[in-house]
Copies of this chain bind each other. A is one copy, B any other.
């Protein structure tokens, strides 16, 4: 469980003050995977540096399992940091160390006995599926394998929170899937709280239970994936389930509606239901139907024939849990 309360970070640049984090609050339950998404300059890197205490926050607190991290004394800082395991975009492995030695690094720092280290490293390499690569150097590993080593290393200090900073931005789509699956399986096994900082919508779609949108140092939207996607006016919904393409230039006459429906209702035959209930032809102009987490979502742009009873149809749709937006009426 991680709780961030009113985190502020102000940088002084000459006589200019940059407010990089402007009161960020966040609560993620144990076992949850939370995505933090934001554009360049939103404050993502600053948030990471404050969460890992590489930079001290200007004010506010960071707590893991109700134990405060940010406001501990300088001497306790190093112990405090061990509550958060961190995975980096470029893995940041030590090139002079083998896979096993990299994973052993955090244990060496606190003088763990050799035999304990060996046991623990073996277990972690097994967990991330790299037992056969224990003696390989990072340069001999693929990007995905390096990221696995980074995950094993982050886990070796038994953290309560796993903080992943753009963990897949340097990977190809196939490897991205593998790494996200690994993070999810690690979360399941160890009941870790996971924070993923990213700018890729796909990562949020594939791996996160909940998501926050960071903008100019503030969280402007947040919530469970199902909830944020279901809000058609929300920025996250538009980003996660966009409408593909533009309206075709020449349309047959009729009214155009955007439908967003999710959860159980998505599996229900909405189009068929309108067609049969109102006895008319529903034309799908654009849109997509997909599964996010445990839920199915549909975002469709439909066209109704001229003369349809738009009000009745809309009422029917809303009654069936569909969010309706009128795009064009003729």
Residues of A at the B interface (CB closer than 8 Å) are 244-246, 248, 251-252, 267-269, 271-276, 279-291, 296, 298, 300-301
Contact = CB atoms under 8 A, between A and B. Distances in A.
Contact of A282 (B251, B271, B286, B296): B271
Given A271-B275, A275-B275, A289 B291 contact: no
Q: How many copies does the complex hold?
A: 2
Contacts of A271: 271-272, 275, 282, 284
B246 A291 contact: yes
Contact of A275 (B268, B272, B286): B272
A251 to B, nearest CB: 8
Contacts of A275: 269, 271-272, 275-276
A286 B284 CA distance: 13
A246 B205 CA distance: 13
A244 B284 CA distance: 17
Contacts of A291: 244-246, 248, 286
Contacts of A288: 244, 286-289
Given A248-B296, A275-B276, A276-B276, A269 B283 contact: yes
Contacts of A274: 272
Given A244-B288, A269-B283, A272-B275, 12 more contacts: A245-B291, A248-B267, A251-B267, A252-B267, A269-B275, A271-B271, A271-B272, A272-B272, A272-B280, A275-B276, A288-B288, A289-B300
A287 B301 CA distance: 13
Contact of A298 (B251, B281, B284, B298): B284
B286 A290 contact: yes
